[in-house]
Every structure is written in C-alpha cells, then in structure tokens.
Structure 1
Amino acid sequence: MTSVTGICRDVATAVWNRDARELERMARTAATDAMLRSPVASPHSRELYSALAPRYYRRRYQTDIEGPVAPDPFKRERVDPARVERFTRRVYPPWRNRRQLFGTVRSGDWDRRPHADAPTDGGPPRRLFVAGTIEDTLLFRSLDSHFNDGIPWAETKFVQEVLNYLAAGREHVWHDCESESDVYRRCRRLDAYYRTLSRDGCESQAERIDVAERERGFLDVLENEIIVDIGRDGELLLVSGKHRLCLSRLLELPTVPVAFLVRHGDWIATRRAVADGESVRDPAHPDLRDLLAAQSETSANEVVAA
C-alpha cells in the first residue's frame, strides 16, 4: 500500500503542475481503494461503488465515437463462441493496455493482414497462441487433445513447448508460470474451470462475484472479460480470454459474454447506417443490438403517442 508521505508528495506534484487529470486519477484511485479494499470497506460500500462506478466511467471515459451511433464502450453481449474464429492482428500481444482502448476506432488493414505483419511488443511466444484460426492454434489443439481425447497434459504439444521455453530461460511464456510445477498447477486450474463451464456455462466476470464481495474496480473487472475487436465487416476478432473461449468452443456452449475493444472505421459506418434506418447484411450482429433496441423503443413510443 502506498505510504501517506508518498501520496502527499504525488498530490503536491500534481497541484504544482496544475495537472487536473492526474489529480482526478488519484482521487478516483483513493475512492476505489477506500470503498472496495480498505479496512473500512464493507458490503454496503462495495454495492455503492458498483452503482456509482459505471455512471462515472461512462461520463468521464474518452472514446473515438460520438453521437447516436456511439455504443456504450463498456457493454457486454452474449455471443456464440463459434462466431469468434480468429485472433485480432492489430498488434501482438493484443491484450496490452486494453483498459485504455475501449471505444477506440482504428482504420487501416489491421483486421485483414497476416499475423506476421502485425506490430509486436514482446509478449509470450506467438507460435503457442497464434495461427490462421483459433482452432489451428497449438493451444486449442492441445486443449482438444486433453479434454476430448483424454491425452495427459504432459503429452500435449502445448505443455511440452511451454516447458521447453522455460527450460531455455524464456520468461512470460504462459501467464505467470516460471517452473514445471507452475505449469502443471495451471493445468489443474484449467481442469477445474472446464468442469465449472460444463456445469454452469460461461458467466461474465461481473456475474461470477457478488457485488458485496467484489474487491476489483470497474475497469479491472471489465478488462478480464473475453474481449474482441470488430473488423470492417463485423468480424469478431479475439483480443483476450483465449482459454475461456477455447474451452467454451470445445464444450459447444451456446453463448459467452464478450466486451468490445477496438472497432474498424468501416464498421462504424455500418453502425451509422443502422442508426439511419438502412438495412445491413447482418442485422443480428451483437454490436448492433443496442441500435436496433433503441429503434424498437422509439417505434413503440411513437405508436403509443399516436
């Protein structure tokens, strides 16, 4: 926990530099800690935070989209996991800095270019997690072998490759695994999670923990959902949550909750067309539900008014 002296120093620096944004960030962090994690935090304070935080972030969070076409940057939608077939090629690893990217619009060829052409910023070995499709990845094929064919973890190609990388001194190979025992501990966690998914389906992070017990902040919860980018034609491109998505596909779950990160500029034109009442190729697209719901509500109100 940050010392009182350190907090005072940071506040003084922000005031001296007239940095209003930094002061707001510090106030937000202090309020979040007090309501969720401090010794005085309680079920009531956590419930209050859960009610206030979404309103605050929706008012203060800056996005690239304005007007009636603008989606809620923090919305979640239920999606058939089979609909998410490929990883995003915007950057690798795509999950870096994701809490700053909700509601972002990017044009260009990032949604269609080969993975090899995507800019990279370190991260775990690509060959473990990236391929032409999600089902072609080493991760998915090894999960399939283990859960559907009964192959022991130690005999799956994914685990063997992870152990080879660790033995060679590579860091950040598979989450926080640093040793063979870490790897098999994570495998056991996947076994347990597979059973949970099979029994309960895939719940959102917000649904998994009661608000009265939740100690993570609003964006902390959101950024740990299954997250997708949206390509120019509406293709859902996986950003993070790959283990949950792969297991959900193996279990043939009907839907999983997803949050949306970066949208292609051409897709925003599609949202604008829907907002203007034009017909589009995929009106059932999960990112168009909010617009269609708003139109239905407007039509219903007009009928009542008439």
Structure 2
Amino acid sequence: MNIIKYAKSKIVHLMPKWLKVALYKIWRFYWRSKTKLIPGKYYIDPYSKDETIYIDPDRIVYAVKEGFDIYQYKGRVFGGNWDKKVIRFDEIDFFKSFKRRIENNLDWEETEYYNRVFAQIKKGEVKWACRNKEELDERCAKLDALFKDMKEYGYKKGWNENEVTVNIGRNGELLFNNGRHRLTFAKLLGVKEIPVKVTVRHKEWIAFKNEIFEYSKKFDNKVYTKLFHPDLLNIPSHYTDKRFDLIKNNLTVKGGKLLDIGCHWGYFCHKFEDERFDCYCVEKSKLNLYFLEKLKEIENNRFKIIPKSIFNLPADMPKEYDVILALSIFHHFIKEEEIYKKFIEFLKTLKGKELFFEPHNPDEPQMRGAYMNFDNDEFAEFIVENSAFTAFEKIGFSEHGRALYKIY
C-alpha cells in the first residue's frame, strides 16, 4: 500500500459516522444523476464481452412474451417493462407438449403444440419452414432425434448464435428468448449446465453493473470476492475460492448455524448456504450493505443480513453457532483502546464449535499507531485466551499471503 492509499484509509477511519453516511448518500445521488443525465454513456455495459455464459437450465424460469431477434438486437440495452411481460417457461406449449409426450408416450398428433402448428399451416402460414403435414411430421421426427442424441451423448455446444439465448431483466433475471427446443430437452433430461448467449439487457441491470464498475475503480478495478450471477462472473476479484476451499476441507460439522462477521457482499454466506448452513451475515458498512442486499435479491439467497456492529447484535440472534467466520476483520478491533476493550468482552460471549480466523499481517501500513498489534500466532492465542475456544491450528494461506487458522 503506498502512502496515498494509507492516508486515504486513515482519513476514512477517523471520519465520524454521520460524515460517512452523508458521503455515501451524496455518492448514490451523484451516480443516479449521471445515469439519468447521460444514459448514452452509463447504459453501456462496462464488462460486456461477446462470450458464451454457462448456466443451470433450471435457473431460467420465465420467458419474455415478445422475444428479441438474436441478430438485430444482440448486445442491445433497453429500458421499459419488457422484462415484466413474461410467462413461465414450463407453460409454453412446446415444453408442456413434449413433457407429456415422453411421460405418457403420446403421439405428436395428440399434443397441443402439434395441433396449434398444424392449424396455422392449414391456414396457409409457413411454420418452422413447414408448409404441410408431411414437412411438419419430418420436423417433429428431427426433434425426437435431437432429444435422443442429447440423452445419449449429452448437451452439445452450438456454433455462433446457435445456442439458447436469454435476456437479462432489471434484477438480473435470466429470461428465455430463443431456442426453446434445446432448453426444453435440457430441462427434461436434468442437464446441469448449458451454454447460452445474451441478447438484450435491461438498462437498470446495466446501471447496477456500472455501479459495481465505479466501485471497483477504487480497488485496482477489482471487487473483493468473486460474484455469482452468470453475467457478473467475468468481473475481476481480489479473492478466488481458495479460502472457501480451505475452510470447507477443514470443517468437522456438516450444516448448522454459521455466523460471518464482516461479510462484505455475502460471498461466504452464499457458498455455505449451498452447503446446507443457515447463515447470518453481519455487515455495518452502508455501501457494502447496498451491494449485499442487491446481490442477495438477485441470487434469491435465504441468509439473514444483520446491518449492525458485531458489538451491538439484536437480541433474537442465535446464542451459539456451529461455524464462525472472522476473515480479515478482527484486526480492525485492536486499533483503538476503546474498541479493543469491547472486542475482549465480545470474545468472552462468543460461542461456537469452530472459528475460522484470517489475521492481518502485522507489518501492514494500516496498523501503524494501532493500540495493539499481534503477529499471527499471537493473535490466534489471544482469541483462545479470551474466549471459550481451547486450541488453534494454521490450515493454510490465502492467495494474498494472509494465514488462515481454525480455532476450536
């Protein structure tokens, strides 16, 4: 960290709470004003690449009622309510018809889809390049062959735009746009991951991506930990999955209550929710809370957000946890004498089966003039001496060289 960054961190640390809140509100107003006054600039996707993204087919629940041409509108950004005019994908007649066909061994002529298309053909319309019953029957036979091939050999990646395409709504919803046959087959066969292309994104989704981009400028154009939405996966992050993998491989409990102290944007709560933990995410930064709440909504997570200081938790919080995470957070509690004393009292009340602890490096510039400054083992020992835990062991290092401890 250079002297400028150190000075900035010191200024922020010394700011009174009311000033931090005021600056945050000014920042939010400034950003929203920019996006409204200069939409041509700020509705450009800062991370957009013409790339294929990979998703679980079951993540696509709804389809837009009026799809966008995959060539004419590729990469476009639109406002409006098109992302609200949707239908459940499993209510589309092809999905319902093919599902009934394979489950009940129906002939094509017994399905809603076939009868609808054939009725349109009889009126003189050309549907799927079919002008008569023979051509429609031939097309249906090809669909059967495609389903059989996918069942036997798995989902095969297409070429160019020959993929399932989706649109992304204002809250990150993946809305089906084109390629219903492939998506239907993938869903019915239980395929876990398929390639898709994005056709259109909602301008409010792009505004949110720009907020992430503006935030990342302060941190070497990276976010703190990786994000999970398929359209956010290509955003660079300072931390990968290494810490999660270390913790998971050293857990002795499977599921239960997990407390994440200083959870930032919710990475660990998201990951451990998938491991059947009930997660409590403690975060007091107003700016981090904005992104945390937004990302939780986008990913439909269940974890509980506690927008409080760890020293002022609500009375209805659990009194004991199976797993506690304290990653790159406890060193903030030893910089000043008053907070240090609160920290000791907090440790005395902390109850859990195992605590995973990532200390700072004691020679970091942010610790200059700190009230206390432990080396790594001393800090782990300090926690044991002031809590109900009795032992600790070093289990590895993060990608940035900080040690990771299991305390139990």
TM-score (norm 2): 0.44
Q: State the partner residue of 2:52.
A: 76
More strand, by proportion:
2
* 1:236 aligns to 2:145 (yes or no): no
Distance change (3 Å), C-alpha of 1:153 and 1:107: same
For residues 145-164 of structure 1, the aligned pairs below 5 Å read 145-164=100-119
**1:104 is the counterpart of 2:76:** yes
What is the aligned partner in structure 2 of residue 190 from structure 1?
Answer: 143
Q: 1:112 to 1:95 in 2, by over 3 A?
A: closer
Query: Could you tell me how far apart the structure 2 residues matched to 1:204 and 1:64 are?
Result: 33
Query: What stretches of structure 1 of length at least 5 have no aligned partner?
Result: 1-62, 116-131, 207-220
Task: Find out whether 1:245 has 2:161 as its counterpart.
Answer: no
Q: How many angstroms does 1:70 deviate by?
A: 2.9
CA contact (8 A) 1:202 1:257 kept: no
CA distance change for structure 1 residues 64 and 139 in 2, over 3 Å: closer, same or farther?
farther
Aligned pairs for 1:41-190 (under 5 A) are 66=44, 69-72=46-49, 74-89=50-65, 92=66, 94-96=67-69, 98-113=70-85, 132-169=87-124, 171-173=125-127, 175-190=128-143
In structure 1, the partner of 2:282 is: none
| CA distance in structure 2 between the aligned counterparts of 1:279 and 1:235, rounded to whole angstroms | 22
For 2:207 and 2:167, how far apart are their aligned partners in 1?
A: 16
Q: Tell me whether 1:272 sits opposite 2:210 in the alignment.
A: yes
- 1:290 corresponds to 2:234: yes
For this pair of structures, how many residues does the alignment match?
197
The alignment-based identity, stated in percent, is: 27
CA distance in 1, matches of 2:131, 2:42: 39
Is 2:178 aligned against 1:201?
Answer: no
RMSD over aligned CA atoms reads 2.9
- Do the aligned partners of residues 265 and 250 (structure 1) sit closer, same or farther apart at CA in structure 2, a change above 3 Å counting? same
- How far does the alpha carbon of each residue in 1:43-80 deviate from its partner, in whole angstroms, 9 at most, with x for none? xxxxxxxxxxxxxxxxxxxx99657x2310x2111111
Q: Structure 1 CA distance, aligned partners of 2:237 and 2:204? A: 21
Q: Give me the TM-score of the superposition, normalised by structure 1.
A: 0.58
1:70 alignment partner AA? Y
1:256 aligned to 183, 188, 194, which one?
194
**Pair 104,297 (structure 1): closer, same or farther in 2 beyond 3 Å:** farther
CA 1:143 to 1:285, structure 2 compared with 1: closer, same or farther past 3 Å?
same
Deviation digits for residues 115-170 of structure 1 (CA, Å, limit 9, x no counterpart): 6xxxxxxxxxxxxxxxx21111211111001122211112112112221221222x
Give the Å deviation of 1:296: 3.9
CA contact (8 A) 1:153 1:159 kept: yes
C-alpha deviation, 1:102, in angstroms:
2.3
1:287 partner amino acid? D
CA distance in 1, matches of 2:144, 2:135: 14
Query: How far 1:287 moved relative to its partner?
Result: 0.3
Distance verdict in 2 for CA 1:95–1:185, change over 3 Å: farther
Distance in 2, matches of 1:100 and 1:137, equals 24
Q: Name the one with the larger helix percent.
A: 1
> Conserved in 1, the CA contact under 8 Å of 2:42 and 2:207?
no
Compare CA radii of gyration and give the structure with the larger one: 2
CA contact (8 A) 2:54 2:194 kept: yes
Q: Check whether the contact 1:64–1:105 (CA below 8 A) recurs between aligned residues.
A: no
d(CA) in 2 for partners of 1:111, 1:256:
22
**What is the alpha-carbon distance in structure 2 between the residues aligned to residue 95 and residue 181 of structure 1?**
30
- The CA deviation at 1:181 is 0.7
Instruction: For 1:266 and 1:164, locate their aligned partners in 2 and report how far apart those are by CA, in whole Å.
Output: 40
1:272 shift after superposition: 2.4
Quote the Cα distance in structure 1 between the aligned partners of 2:51 and 2:106.
38
**For the residues of structure 2 that align with 1:239 and 1:64, how far apart are their CA atoms?**
25
- Show the counterpart of 2:317: none
Which has the bigger relative contact order, CA under 8 A and spacing at least 6?
1
User: How big is the shift at 1:260?
Assistant: 0.6
CA deviation map 1:200-238 (0-9, x unaligned): 2222213xxxxxxxxxxxxxx22x211111000001111
Displacement after TM superposition at 1:295 (Å): 2.1
SS of match in other structure, 1:286? coil
Shift of 1:185: 0.6
Looking at structure 1, the residues matched to 123 and 136 of structure 2 have their Cα atoms a distance apart, in angstroms, of: 15
Contact 1:79 1:256 in 2 (8 A): yes
Give the conservation status (yes or no) of the 8 Å contact 1:65–1:104. Answer: no
